[in-house]
Structure 1
Amino acid sequence: MTTTCPRQWMDDQLRLGQTLCLILDSEGELVARQALLSPHDLERYSCIYSQTPISDLANAGPFIFLIDNPGDARLKPLLDEPERNWGWLASIRHGDLPALTRHWRERLIIGTRPHRALYRFHDNRVLGRALAHLPEEARPEYLGPAISVCYWQGGQWNVAHNPAPGEYPLPADPGWLNVPVSDDRAMAILHSNNYRYLWAKHHEELRRLSQRQDPSTWLTEQLSYAQQWGWTDPEQVRFLVIRKLTEAEASIINNWAPHEGEAPQVHYERLFNEAKFWAGEGSL
C-alpha cells in the first residue's frame, strides 16, 4: 500500500485505460448521491442492496457510480472532506460495473441465521482495515474486479493494487471477516447496524423517541447495558433495543437488571419470557 493524492491516482488510472468508480455510503451522503444520480442512466450506476434479500434497505445502502472526470465538481466536497468517511474509489476494466456489483452483493450478508449481519464494504475504514490485515495473495478474492483502490485511512489517502483482478467465488472462510477489531470499533459497528435496523423496521417508534431525546444517545445507553450484562448474541441485543424502544412510553418490564449471580443467558431468557407473558403470548 502507498499514499497518494486521489486526483493524481484517478489521472493515473485513466491514463492506463481503466474506468473509475465511486463507492458511496448513500445513507450519510444523500446530497452527494442525488447530485450524482441526476444525469446518469441506469448503466452508469448500481444500487448494491437492490436485487438482494435486503432490497427494502436499498435507499439507505451503498451505490457505485462510474466517474468520467476527476475534476467533476460533484466530487469536490467528498475529496475535500475524506474524514466524513463517505466511501472509497476504485478502478475497473471497461464494462466491469456489473461484475463489481455482483462481487459485493455476494459478500454483503455474513453469518448464518439467526446471527446474520451486513458487511459494510463501502465504509473506507472497513476496507482499510481488511487490506492492512490480508496478505497480498488474498486481495483478489476480496477486491474482485477492482484493479486498484484509493481510500482514506489513518488521516491520509492510501492506494492498494489488486495483483489479479477478476471474479472469484466467496471463500468458505473469508479472511476479511477475521480482522481484529478494537472494543471501541466493535461498539461503533454494533451501534451503526442497530441504528440502521431500527430506522428501517421501527421508524415511527424511533421518530417519537426523537421528540424526547436523541435516538443515537439512547441507543448508546441500551448497548452499554447489553455490554454490562454480557449480552453479546445479536438476538439478545435486538430483543433489548426493540423492547426498550417499543416500551419507551409505557414499560412492561419493571426491572431489567440481572439478579445476583444470574448468568447472561438465564437473565435474557427470564426477561424474554416475562415480555411474552405481559404481551399475552406465553406464561411465566
Structure 2
Amino acid sequence: MNPDDILSAISRISSNTVEQLEQFSNFEWEAPSRCHMWANKDVAAHLVATLGFNLNSITMALSGNHLPGEGMPNPGTFHSSEIAPGIASRAIQLSETSLRNKTTLLKVLSDIQQDFNETCKTINESKWELKAYHPVNMLSIAEILLIVLLELTLHTWDIFNALQDDYVVDEESAILLVNLWKNPKANSWFIVNPSGDSPDVAPKVIDIDLGLKNKLRLTTYKGNLDIFEKPDAMDLAPTTIQTSPTDFSLLITARKNLFDLIDQKRVTVEGNKKNLLMFHHWFKGT
C-alpha cells in the first residue's frame, strides 16, 4: 500500500467533487442523496466535518500526540453505530446553520481539502506509520488516509448517483480501498457489531474474487466476522463471489443488495449460495 497513491486519489476526487458541486442548481443541492435522511447539501457538510476531524488527527500525530481529544472516546471502545445518529444530526445542523450558504460551504470544503493535501505532502516515508487517533481504533497516518478515501469515494457516489443512476464508484479508489476491507484494525467501522444472539450460528467461509492478484477471504461464526487476503496455499472456499472492486465497495458498505446485483449479472456466485443468505446481516454501511 503506497500512501502517495491514496493521497493522489484523495486529491483528485476532492477537487472534482467541489468543481461538480459548484455547478449544482438549488434543486440538485437540496435533493435527497443515497444516504438515509441526508440531502446532498448534508453529505457535503459531513465531508467538511470528517475531513477536518481526520486532518486534526494527522496534525496531532505528527506533533507526537495520538490521544483522543476532549470528550472523545478511547479508540476501539465502542461501535460506530453508537455515534451514527449524532453524526447524522451534526451534518444536518451544519448545512442548516453555519454552512447554510452553498458558496460558503464549498469554500470551506475546498480550503480543508487543500490544507489536508498540503499537510500530507510534507509527510516523509518514516512518518506514515505514526499512530493517529480515530474512534474505530488507533491507526497509522497511512490508515487514516484510507478512511478519508472511503469517506470521499462513497459519499461522492451518494450524491451523484442519486441524480444520475449510472454514476459509478471511482475504480482506482475502489481498488485502493481493498486495503481497508482486509484491515482488521479499521474494518469494524462497517461490520455489524458481533452479538451472542446472532442468528448466524453456522460457520461460513466465502472467497471474494475481485479480478485482482489476490482474493479476499471472509469467515464468520456467531456474529464474528473476519476479512483477510486469502493465502495461495489455502483451498478454495465452499462459496466464491465474483464481482468488481467498484461493486464490492457498494456491497460491503450496504449501499447495494447482493441479490439484486446477482439478478443484474454484476455478481456471479460459485458453490453454495446458501452461505450468502446472511450477507446483509454482516455489513451495516458507513
Q: TM-score, normalised by structure 2?
A: 0.25
Q: Answer 1 or 2: higher relative contact order, Cα 8 Å, separation at least 6.
A: 2
